[in-house]
Amino acid sequence: MKVLIIYGSTEGQTRKIASFLKEEAEKRGHQVTLSDATDNPPALTAGYDLVLIGASVHAHKYQTAVSHYIKSNAGVLNKTRSGFFSVSLAAAGDDTEDWKELNEITNALLEETGWKPAHIEQVAGALRYTQYDFFKKFIMRLIAKRHGRPADTSGDYEYTDWAKLKVFLEKMLKN
């Protein structure tokens, strides 16, 4: 199967997840193209059997390059087997309001772009304190404390469930 994975990443966790999906699909014998949405990704006319698109939520929205790519290719995406993986810290918790907001953000992207993926996977991201500037570190620390997450800003914390991602990939690879 010919697979295309497009992603948008701000601090690197979505890129790490996209690379993981690529490696896992290749282990299963599939031909995979991985591309950052900001790097002029391949056109969907290249005959891909499956397209996976991933983006992370920051300030209540996804990366502009990802939404632009989806909007530009919605017609072909809707005729191709496709899936969306949305990366956020909200997916690491069980707060009902956070999940409601996360689903609203995802639905807004899909409405805005006209894309109807076969499957949507909400994926827990990471706290990258060591990559944040002072202001963002301060804000993320407050949010983390409010949700019972580590507030020690001297390290990073990853919440991604890699086994759950394998299940998502298997689901998407099935015909």
pLDDT tens digits, 162-175: 999 999 999 999 95
- Edge-to-edge strand ranges of the sheet holding 119-124: 31-36, 2-7, 50-56, 81-88, 119-124
pLDDT at 151: 80
Same-domain pairing of 100 and 32? yes
Same-domain pairing of 67 and 119? yes
| Domain residue limits at 20 | 2-125+160-173
- Check residues 131 and 78 and name the one with the higher pLDDT: 78
Same-domain pairing of 132 and 56? no
Same-domain pairing of 121 and 144? no
Pairing of strands 157-158, 126-127: antiparallel
The crossing angle, in degrees rounded to 10, of helices 13-27 and 162-173 is 50
pLDDT tens digits, 95-148: 899 899 999 999 999 999 999 999 999 999 998 888 888 988 888 888 778 777
Same-domain pairing of 64 and 51? yes
What is the C-alpha to C-alpha distance for residues 5 and 42, in angstroms, rounded to an integer? 10
Instruction: List all residues 6 or more positions away from 139 whose beta carbon is below 8 Å from its beta carbon.
Output: none
Name the pTM for this structure.
Answer: 0.91
Pure H helices in the chain: 13-27, 64-77, 96-113, 134-146, 162-173
